[in-house]
A = this chain, B = another copy of it.
Amino acid sequence: MNPHAYVHGYSPRENRRLSEQSEILKQILHGDTHFEPASLVLEAGCGTGAQSAILSPMFPETVFMGIDISLASLAEARSRGLHRHHFSRTDINCLPFPPETFDHVLVCFVLEHLTDPEKALYELKRVLKPRGLITVIEGDHGSCFWHPETRASRTVWQSLITVQSGLGHDPDIGRRLHPLLSRAGFHVQMTRPCWLYADASCPDLLDGMVNKIIVPMVKTARESAIQQGLAGEAEWAEGIADLEKSGNPPGGTFFYTWFKSIGVKQD
């Protein structure tokens, strides 16, 4: 198995999804994100820089080091022209930084794609200064529901979960951030759900979440899902169409929650 497998792949459509997603979710995920001015932040698994682009104007005196395993994603991140953001191709499990380098580590949508998230947390802790902070934001696909929820739409959603689990990754990792950080030796200051609920009262958010984030994300797993016999082609098409319906007022509703955890490196 490819140790760097990424369930969503690296297509231009997926890159666009990552940017649209981060704009839609800015307030939900980063409303309480905080970095000290003049601090040095490691953004581990920065991907195409979708979060970097959000955080850069929020923290105009902070310096960021973004690392990722994908050269193509890093090229996209660099092309954003973000000052104070440095990017480097690096394996999260084996960082080329001396111990106690960073004031803060940010991990966003990364642990869910690793075979051993606890190991990565130990390595991130190593490069964090004493009493330094780690902010982790991860989704939980098991938290997701919508209306109307049909058998076919549930099948395509479950297919994504099964494909990602089959890579040895945990798409439900959000719910276990607290015990995971604790076991890795952090003192957990806070863990909270960052939830999104949308209905006909906020049609743009409903459409954005379902049709710009969720449906494109599910589609990244189409080939694998059909290949693995998790859904037939017709069933897949029906499930996607049904999922799209939940993004339409007046009847559609959608719920998903990410989790955000802040831990302190203990002495």
Residues of A at the B interface (CB closer than 8 Å) are 140, 142-143, 145-149, 172, 175-176, 178-179, 182, 188, 190-193, 195, 197, 199-201, 250-253, 255, 257
| Shortest Cβ gap from A236 to chain B (Å) | 22
Q: What are 17 A-B contacts with C-beta separation under 8 Å?
A: A142-B145, A142-B149, A143-B255, A145-B172, A145-B175, A147-B175, A148-B176, A175-B255, A178-B200, A178-B201, A179-B200, A179-B250, A179-B253, A190-B201, A191-B199, A192-B197, A193-B197
| Shortest Cβ gap from A197 to chain B (Å) | 5
Q: A255-B143, A255-B257, A257-B255 are in contact. Are A178 and B149 (CB under 8 A)?
A: no
Contacts of A148 in B (CB 8 A): 176
For A143, give its contact among B145, B182, B190 (CB under 8 Å).
Answer: B145
Contacts of A251 in B (CB 8 A): 179
- State whether B140 touches A175 (Cβ < 8 A): no
A253: nearest chain-B partner, CB-CB: B175
A140: nearest chain-B partner, CB-CB: B145
Q: A188-B201, A191-B199, A255-B257 are in contact. Are A179 and B143 (CB under 8 A)?
A: no
Give Cα distance in the complex from A199 to B191, angstroms.
8
Give Cα distance in the complex from A143 to B147, angstroms.
12
Contacts of A200 in B (CB 8 A): 178-179, 182
